Structure formats: structure tokens, C-alpha cells
Amino acid sequence: MAQARIYKPSKTAMQSGRGGQSRKWLLEYEPATPRVPEAVMGWTRADDTLNEVRVRFDTLEEAVAFARRHGLDYTVIEPHLRTPKQKSYADNFRYDRIRV
């Protein structure tokens, strides 16, 4: 039976701000065979092609329904919630601020 993980990917280093909060849920298959270097070219290869498949869903419920419908063992990885820190713009100009 195929293993899969369902998660919400974090934003890339090229993205800024919080506009990407509507990121989609992603279902990825776990690798069934180890990756090995190709003898001739030196590339890394795997014998299974399921590890190349990524399916995107709008909601977690859709992803879980897909996994159940196809008989997949799945693991849901909850997204890390952002904990905002209270800051004041005036703190940038405090006289006792530590300078580096």
C-alpha cells in the first residue's frame, strides 16, 4: 500500500508578506525505493515514479477524501501557525536600543 503525506507547504524564500495565506494543500507520495546515483551520468535516480507526483487541493478535506478513495495510508502534517510579535514603529528610534 502506498504511503502519502498531506501538508501545506511553506512559502519560498522569494515570497514575502502574508498574501500567500491561501496556499493549497499538497499530497505527496513517500519514496518507496531509495535514491541511488546513476553509474554513467552521476545523476540521482529512483525506481519508482510515484515520488514525482504532487497533487494540490484547496482544502484538507478534499486531500483526505482523495487519499481514502484511492486506499492510501496518509499522514497529515498541520501547518505551523504564525505567532506575531507586538512591535511599535517608535521602538526603531529608542535611545536605549542595542546597536550592532
> Using 50, 70 and 90 to split pLDDT, how confident is the model at 19?
low
Given a contact cutoff of 8 angstroms between Cβ atoms, the answer to whether 62 and 33 are in contact is no
pLDDT tens digits for range 84-98 = 888 888 888 888 877
Per-residue model confidence (pLDDT) at position 28: 95
Fold of 3-9+22-80: Double Stranded RNA Binding Domain (3.30.160)
Q: For a pLDDT cut of 90, what percent of the chain falls above it?
A: 37
* Average confidence (pLDDT) over 68-79: 94
Q: Which DSSP letter does residue 28 get?
A: E
What's the predicted TM-score (pTM) here? 0.71
Mind listing the pLDDT tens digit for each residue in 23-44?
789 999 998 888 889 889 989 8
